[in-house]
Structure 1
Amino acid sequence: FNCNGSNLAYRRETFSEIGGYQQIKQVVTGDDTLLLQKIKQIGRWQIRFTTMPDSLVKSWPEETPRQVFNQRLRWGSGGLSYSPQALSFALAVFIFILLLFLSPFFWLAGSISMFWLLGFALKIIQEARVMAAGWRVFRLPTEWMSFSLLQLIHIPAILTFSIGGHLFGFKWKGQKFKRTRETASAQLKTETP
């Protein structure tokens, strides 16, 4: 479903068979995931997730808040180019997150019961399970305090960057990108300065 290009390996034969990045070269972000989806679509190749700690590729984070903001907008801009199955899943997750965000307001207005807390608890429990597994497999220190504090901004951040990535431009590698009417899918074109 998803992958990270900085920690992705594939056979040259596989890359050649699917035509490499030719069909997705116009996409500014998500080309790694789209490549993985093309490999899966062919069905001839196995896709495996490595859990060997020595296979972990570390990359440097962005240095400034503005760079982080632009990075997240770029990441949020790629969803519309995913396969129909991945897009359906992403849309379902987005709707779930949006409902979680709106639920406290509806509850305060007396429109719904506190049942929404169950959805929020399920979100946190599932994410905690994934994080705990990642920390264990890659022998990383557990960061429960950071995990807990980030829950306060996680839902607003998901909504901000997934919507903002499609509506607003962003800067990446010294260039400005903005969605145009002609590229209403997830293809972004460079703005002229």
Structure 2
Amino acid sequence: MLPMWLIGIIFILLIAYGILIRFYTKSWKQMPEQITGKEAMDDAPTFSVIIPARNEATTILPLLESIKKQSYLLEYVEIIVIDDHSEDHTAALVQKFRAENQGRLTVRLISLKEDALNSYKKKAIETGIAAAKKEWIVCTDADCTVPVQWLQSYAERIRKAGPVFIAAPVSLIPTPTSVKKHRLLYIFQTLDFLTLQGITGASVYKNVHTMCNGANLAYKRDTFYEVNGFKGIDTIASGDDMLLMHKIWKRHPQKIQYLKSKEAIVETAAAATWRAFINQRIRWASKATRYEDKRIFGVLLLVYLFNCSFLLLLVMSFFNVCYFYAFFWFWIAKTFTELPFITSVASFFDKRQLLRYFFIFQPLHIGYTILAGFLGSFGKYEWKGRVVK
């Protein structure tokens, strides 16, 4: 016989989790989708695209070429690549691209001088912003590619809403390695990433907590300095996106926007191996205890406790098979709770074909959530060939 107090606690967690997911689902669906046009604008905003890069020789040129193809007037755009002590020929490729596009596109390369830091990426972004000459800072990663109307989409959102910070969508694409050897890993992390993207959009739209992804965001250069940039969060290895976003939100709580536009979706390669994937998620989880936004901390705590309840049921099933039946029942309940949300988000990103795997990946998702959350709080991880904490 199962102790009713235990089942009662897990059931309460399920109800609370269901209410949360229902809120995200409703908010995501309510958010209007922006259809980006191609018309020129009066007083068009200007953009400095900041790209930190470390050992990105295989990816930096596709990104630069995708920026070069923007429908937006390139005279309003500058690209600043900050080379973070690369050990390959990343810098040489950027210099070559710069020379080939002299007079058509402003490209600058800055070499990061500082060493022995815990947050090289923040220092790289800060260095790039110091050199920037445009009104808006647009951040992306060196392993991404951007769509043709990326900057046009940002410009229209700026014109319509008058924000100071914009979070925007990111989508995972498979690498040759993931297609051949790790297809299940690609599917699993894509489903997980879709959930995060949906929560990001819904939470920003309703202004319930701050969330974004550093591969696709923008903010006013003056606003960055208004909140003293990364000061106070500069010793944390991760958090160049969400921790900065919260600092800006505290100063301008009504001027944070989410750009729900398919023309603004930045694509980035999925992690090629399970080790790389876990390292990435630990890095993301590592900033959780440093959030000043207690609203998101409450959400993370609820999600973590709910997932831990599955582990508890699974362990106890070794002593009583009834606990396994309870585990399976809650597994089904969790799936049906999340399905409307993930379906809506997957439709926006054109990835509904992956939903057939959603149910079977639930136990793996529960296990990884518990592991990444624990190691993110107490462990170290490797990023760009460096071990940080």
Deviation of 1:165 (Å)? 2.0
Q: State percent identity of aligned pairs.
A: 26
Deviation of 1:63 (Å)? 2.5
- The structure where strand makes up a greater share of residues is 2
> Could you state the TM-score of these two structures normalised by the residue count of structure 1?
0.78
Counterpart CA distance in 2 for 1:2 and 1:86 is: 8
1:3 maps to what in 2? 212
1:100 is the counterpart of 2:310: yes
Q: Deviations over 1:23-54 (max 9, x none)?
A: 21211123311122222222454222222101
Equivalent pair of 2:262/2:349 in contact (CA under 8 Å): yes
Amino acid at match of 1:98: C
1:127 to 338, 342, 346: 338
Equivalent pair of 1:132/1:142 in contact (CA under 8 Å): no
* Structure number with larger C-alpha Rg: 2
2:246 maps to what in 1? 37
1:143 is the counterpart of 2:360: no
Deviation of 1:66 (Å)? 2.4
> Could you state the TM-score of these two structures normalised by the residue count of structure 2?
0.41
Deviation of 1:131 (Å)? 1.8
Amino acid at match of 1:146: Y
Over the aligned positions, Cα root-mean-square deviation in angstroms equals 2.5
Counterpart CA distance in 2 for 1:64 and 1:115 is: 33
Counterpart CA distance in 2 for 1:44 and 1:105 is: 44
Equivalent pair of 1:76/1:162 in contact (CA under 8 Å): yes
Counterpart CA distance in 2 for 1:141 and 1:4 is: 22
Superposition pairs of residues 150-189 of structure 1, within 5 angstroms = 150-177=361-388, 188=389
Equivalent pair of 1:70/1:170 in contact (CA under 8 Å): yes
1:162–1:54 Cα change, 3 Å: same
Equivalent pair of 1:51/1:137 in contact (CA under 8 Å): no
Amino acid at match of 1:76: A
Deviation of 1:58 (Å)? 0.7
- The structure where helix makes up a greater share of residues is 1
Structure 1 residue runs without a partner (length 5+): 178-187, 189-193
87-96 vs 153-162, greater mean Cα deviation: 87-96
SS in 2 for 1:148: coil
Amino acid at match of 2:243: L
Greater relative contact order: 1 or 2 (C-alpha under 8 angstroms, separation 6 or more)? 1
Equivalent pair of 2:285/2:377 in contact (CA under 8 Å): yes
